[in-house]
Chain A
Amino acid sequence: MSELVPKVDGIAEAKLEKTTGPWREAWNGFKKSKVAVVGVGIVVFFILLAIFGPFLVSQGINDQSLPDRLLPPSSEFWLGTDDLGRDILSRIVHGARISLWIGFFSVIGSVVVGSALGIIAGYYGRWIDTIISRIFDIMLAFPSILLAIAIVSVLGPSLQNALIAIAIINVPNFGRLIRSKVLSIKEDEYITAAKGIGMKDSRILISHILPNSMAPVIVQGTLAVATAILEAAALGFLGLGAEAPTPEWGKMLADSKNYLQSAPWTMIFPGIAIMLTVLGFNLMGDGLRDALDPRMKS
């Protein structure tokens, strides 16, 4: 093909800069915010911990040793032991897997369902929009944790059902976000132009409207991972999430509440783990918003 292009000496070949795609540009903007990079650092740390941590800690999560119960942090048990003599460090490390798993998959679930409903509501409008939007309104009328508790009590308490409940209660947030974005995008001229070249509705939805409405969803999704982790911990604390020996962080908090005064480390360290993860996702989400929102660019 290249021989067809007339070579203008020097000018045509001297490309000013390497072609920058939207992703690269977003990353460049993202890097500028130090706080966001710290957020990413924390998140990456916990992800690595979740993947490799369980292979590094020596004690098993359920190795009980009653003589060692409620020991303060020491060189043998870095973060101390709980009321059954289990090593808190190894339980937190294993717990990272559970929390991140719940965080990611519940958000993926709500994003998929919420996007689908939101796009349909926003693009087709009329009665479809009315039905979907009213359902969202009804769901948002409940305090989210109350709705989650109701869903879990119907499904039965388990980690998986907690995940499903958290996914369900977050659907309207994403649905409304995407719907509003679609409402503005569908009036854009490139959508009319796409119709003008004979493109099908379904194709326009998937290849034009969906990608263009993703930026706020990525931001909201990152922040929602943090909320989902908190909600999972809350459900665990209430005894509606993970069951007995599972080292879920919220569950660990619940188990330690009787020893708050005698052995505060049983509560502090799982609490710090939750706090740090949530903080990490929130910082990362804020950084992403700054990087992806064109209005924030100077």
Chain B
Amino acid sequence: MSERKTILQVKDLQTTFFTDSGEIPAVDHIDFHVKEGEILGIVGESGCGKSVTSLSIMGLIPQPPGKIVGGEIVFQENDLLKMTERQMRQIRGNDIAMIFQEPMTSLNPLFTIGNQMLEAILIHEKGWSKKKAKERAIEMLQLVGLPRAEEMLQDYPHQLSGGMRQRVMIAMALVCDPKVLIADEPTTALDVTIQAQILKLMRELNTRLNTAVLLITHDLGVVAETCERVIVMYAGQIIEESPAKQIFDDPQHPYTKGLIQSIPDMRFKKDRLYSIPGSVPKPGSIKQGCRFAARCEFAFDRCIKEDPELYETSDAHQTRCFLYDKEGAEMDDNKTLIESR
């Protein structure tokens, strides 16, 4: 597995929103990479910078108020942030495609599915005839498991259900064989049975077409079911990165532990579901120390004074917590405490 090439690398990305009430660093020095054909999950509460990360990669940050103030996004050895708008248009949809949270509003209500799919194809495949594009559209609709694909080309978005529309969106995103598919909460607006179908479909397409998927979600269940690796984000930072299985077996950051504890478990009857006390701080409001310190049960002096970095705890597992700083000594008591839980 390790010989797969890195296809997308985000280095030290900073995206800031400049508003009347001050600068909001929505994405704050983020580093991660996506390998060919891999499914990488990004998890976090709402407002932690997941969607801003994905829009930054696509170059779709609304500007103003948003601006990418630093870092690099390297896709196949080219820095996307240095590209012109024209070059970016070549990449969007063709090399990197995106599907959105709301399948209900992601299709133009005035045009038929066929109309919109052909448009998506013909933007990038300029030499294609209409007939060829139509065949391709039908092929893709069948690939995402839609029955009566040919007739569906004549349908308007309002005639389809949410799950069908999300399938259409996926078909549209995959129509030009993108190398990376960014799925921004693709199942959030759908009910549970459809969610499972869509996730299964995305996994299948990932293995069949070898498209790398960046799956953004707030649902750890979705990660467990789909991803190989996972990144946990909190207040604009990456706080933990690990293989997906490990994050459930051995969560390290107190926040990740809290998240996993707050998943309802059907096997044991508990009166109350665990929840992390407090709420997510506004990005930029914490100037010093660990951003989770105020909500953390294990916080000690150092946490409010210094910024933790990502500490390597085992192979491919990193955590932004002083408890895992091997050079620090004072945390030993706390570590025993955290492990005893």
Contact = CB atoms under 8 A, between A and B. Distances in A.
Interface of A: 1-2, 4-5, 8, 12, 15, 19-22, 188-190, 192-200, 207-208, 211-212
A198 B100 contact: no
B106 A15 contact: no
A212 B138 contact: no
Contacts of B154: 19
Interface of B: 58, 60, 88-94, 97-98, 100-102, 105-111, 119-120, 123-124, 134-135, 138-139, 142, 147-151, 154-156, 159, 169, 172-173
Contacts of A22: 109-110, 156
A124 B155 CA distance: 32
Given A4-B142, A190-B107, A190-B108, 8 more contacts: A12-B147, A189-B102, A193-B169, A197-B92, A197-B93, A197-B97, A199-B123, A212-B108
A198 B124 contact: yes
A197 B156 contact: no
Given A5-B148, A12-B147, A190-B105, A196 B97 contact: yes
Contacts of B123: 197-199
Contact of A200 (B89, B94, B142, B149): B89
A191 B273 CA distance: 40
A198 B169 contact: no
Nearest to B150: A5
A1 B97 contact: no
Given A198-B89, A211-B110, A188 B147 contact: no
B114 to A, nearest CB: 11
A4 B149 CA distance: 10
Contact of A8 (B147, B155, B156, B173): B147
B94 A198 contact: yes
Contact of A189 (B105, B110, B120, B134): B105
Contacts of A190: 105-109
Nearest to A215: B110
Given A192-B60, A192-B100, A212-B110, A1 B93 contact: no
A197 B159 contact: no
A207 to B, nearest CB: 7
Contacts of A12: 147-148, 151
